[in-house]
Amino acid sequence: MIENFRHYSFLIVHFKLSLSLLAFLFLFAVLGRQPLQAQALTSGADFLKIDSGARSEAMGEAFTGVADDVDALTFNPAGMALLDKPQVGYLRMLYLSDIAYNFGGVALPVPDGENTWGFGAGIVNLGTPNFDSTLGLAPAVSAADNAVLASVAYRFKDIIAFGLTGKYIFRDIAGYNAQAFGGDAGVLVTPVDKLRIGLALLDVGQQVQFISAGDPLPTTARMGVSYKILDIPHHSVLLSVDGGYQFGSQSFLGGAGLEYWFDKTLALRGGYTGDAYQQHLTAGLGINVDVAEFDYAYAPIGTLGDTHRFSLTFRLDTGENGLAAPTGFAGNTSNGVLSLSWRPAPSSEVVGYNLYVRKPGSDKLTLANKRPLNQTSIKLKNLLNGQNYAFALTSVSAAGRESTPVQLSVVAGAASALAPSLMAPTGFKAALAGEGFALIWDPSASAGVVGYNLYIADDAGRPDKKLSAQPTTQTTITLKNVNPNRVYPFVLTAVNQAGGESPATPVLKVSLTDLKNNILSQFVPPSHLKVQLVGGKINMSWDSAPGAAKYNIYVSHDGGANFNLLTPQGFNKTEVVMGHMKAGQSYTFGVSALTADGKESQKAVQNLSAQ
């Protein structure tokens, strides 16, 4: 069976690579049949056809079906709604004969429930220095082409997005001016994961007229397809192919490109682009430092020379590009040894951890390990008793990216660290709230809890996507504009002042449709669960649940992250006395109700610590 799986995996990879090769060969075949000749100006604003992005240019200008950054302003306005955080970008291109091309843009995504609005604005400038073709017989002249852009887009869920761009174009040649209005329209469709299809109609509008004669805008229709052919931890490869038709010159154009990312830090790009008049290869690279990305592109223009594009893009909110931080950072001292431990960060991109320490009398955190730690605990010796040490812990990727740090303060020689392990909140449940639903829970029994983090869980039930940048201090959250047909898997953690987190609660799966149909409320868990230590034994009691025939009793030794069933055959009473607890041990007990046909309710949960 394993051999068959490997065989099929090989066939899939082989198919993807073959598809990429065929796309490039098709582009060479189509463009290669066109005669290579100089292209005459075919519009009154040919500067609008210049690629405004270093990333897109390096990928052979095949960006209509990608359009996932601020460069979507000029390629496909529908991409404004694909961004997950605001971006500001600037590009400068070293063009021919000291001609400079500049582009600046800003993009702002605005969530609307499961949908997203996208807004953008930008400016394009092509400037020519003073030149004199009369050998001094007439004054030198200059020229400048400019366009101001404003875009709006809307994305429906993660399936389809539409966008529109308005343009004000103004040109100046030797003191003569011309203005015109134009616009773009675009669509992006994501029919399946990793595949995106884009359509764009660019530069439709008024003619550019200087004195009496007018020239049309360079109207172009484009279609592009992009597919992520590889997406594994630390490595990804994106293939994109574009084709289009230029109405002014009545010619076809096309391009194809590949983009490889190593650990979301270093990108290598290559492509091939052209039209009926010229074709050439392109190449470039990108460097991402989480808050900013630098891109470079090289593209030759035959006998006219080469062009070099440099762009810088800033992301105004870094959340999702950062690594997941480790959780549960805690420490204990015993016999002069400090033991630090933590739970692994829930991300396949993490390859290790960096530990920083601030010693007594110092105001700087210094790295304590030469190489990233590949374990989740460490012991430190030779600390000065009674002195305060501060620690910070970060997750590390293969390229050296680090997460935001979690911190811990410890007094050496004390009985325990200042941040003991936390217990998860209990009583996590959902209830209808207007057109959405509310998530409700009981406070964590641990001291020092300052808030709670709510996550969408992954398939394994681990915290995946955090729903708020900062912990909430409330014990309820109301979610509106939810998809009524989607089942949302939630988990919840308690957070202390140092940023440490408790184990996550069991997954709570919530569907608005189910709540409205009272499916979740028809069979409720036992209420008023009490767990007490009496005479060294554990006494549990609860109120009967309506419709319950039996009950299941559970115990957890890790704060509720994992439960063990104590009653495989069920239990038909509402109180039980169990054996002695181990000194210093903490338990989390859970009780669920069972119907006669085996349907089980959610658990009622209660923590108990032995003194």
pLDDT per residue as tens digits for the range 540-594? 998 887 778 889 998 888 777 788 888 888 888 899 888 776 766 778 889 988 8
Q: Do 531 and 542 contact (CB within 8 A), yes or no?
A: no
| Contact (Cβ atoms closer than 8 angstroms) between residue 560 and residue 426 | yes
pLDDT above 70 coverage of the chain, percent: 84
Q: Give yes or no: residues 327 and 313 share one domain.
A: no
Q: How far, CA to CA in Å, does 442 sit from each of 274, 475, 515? A: 63, 7, 20
Residue with tokens 């119907």: 595
166 domain residue, yes or no: yes
Residue finishing a domain among 522, 539, 571: 522
Burial of 243 (0-12, 13-18, 19+ CB in 10 A): buried
Q: Is residue 534 part of a domain?
A: yes
**Averaged pLDDT, 124-137:** 71
Residue 350 has pLDDT above 70, yes or no: yes
Does 500 share its domain with 547? no
* pLDDT above 70: residue 78: yes
For residue 249, the domain's CATH number is 2.40.160.60
Q: Which of 256, 284, 318 is the last residue of a domain?
A: 318
Chain center to CA of 575: 48
Domain count, the chain: 4
**DSSP string spanning 377-437?**
EEEE-SPPTT-EEEEEEEEEETT--B---EEEEEETTSSS-SSPPPPPPEEEEEEEETTEE
H helix runs in 33-71, sequence order: 54-58
Tell me the average pLDDT across 598-603.
80
My answer on whether 472 and 344 are in the same domain is no
Residue 161: its H or E element: strand 160-173
Q: Are residues 137 and 260 in the same domain?
A: yes
**Per-residue pLDDT for 474 more than 60?**
yes
Residue 421 pLDDT: 56
Q: Is residue 69 part of a domain?
A: yes
Domain assignment present for residue 417? The answer is no
Percentage of the chain exceeding pLDDT 90: 28
Q: How far apart are CA 119 and CA 211, in angstroms?
A: 35
pLDDT band for 519, please (50, 70, 90 cuts).
Answer: very low
Check pLDDT > 60 for residue 252. Answer: yes
Geometric angle at alpha carbon 176, from 172 and 182, rounded to 5°: 55
DSSP for residue 263: T
Residue 297 pLDDT: 95
Q: Cα separation of 66 and 232, whole Å?
A: 19
Output the pLDDT for position 8.
39
Question: What CATH code is carried by the domain that includes residue 567?
Answer: 2.60.40.10
Q: What is the dihedral of CA 379, 385, 387, 391, to 10 degrees?
A: 0
If asked whether residues 438 and 543 sit together in one domain, one would say no
Closest CA to 28 of 60, 56, 75, 58: 60
pLDDT band, very low/low/confident/very high, at 324 (cuts 50, 70, 90) = confident
Which has more confidence, 102 or 448? Answer: 102
Same domain, 16 and 107: yes
> Average pLDDT, whole number, for the chain?
81
Q: Which secondary-structure segment (H or E) carries 241?
A: strand 235-246
- The reply to whether 225 falls in a domain is yes
Check the CA dihedral 73-74-75-76 and report its sign: positive
Determine, yes or no, domain membership for 416. Answer: no
What pLDDT digit, counting tens, does each position of 168-207 carry? 999 888 778 888 999 999 999 999 888 999 999 999 998 8
Together in a domain, 488 and 529: no
Question: What is the average pLDDT across 28-36?
Answer: 41
Note the pLDDT of residue 482.
86
Do 9 and 109 belong to one domain?
A: yes
Rounded CA separation 24/28 (Å):
6
Q: Are residues 363 and 505 in the same domain?
A: no
Same domain, 46 and 137: yes
Same domain, 234 and 127: yes
- pLDDT of 184 reads 95
In this structure, are 139 and 154 located in the same domain? Answer: yes
Q: Which of 411, 430, 463 is the last residue of a domain?
A: 411
Q: Return the sign of the alpha-carbon dihedral for residues 93, 80, 47, 242.
A: positive
Q: Which domain holds residue 578?
A: 523-611
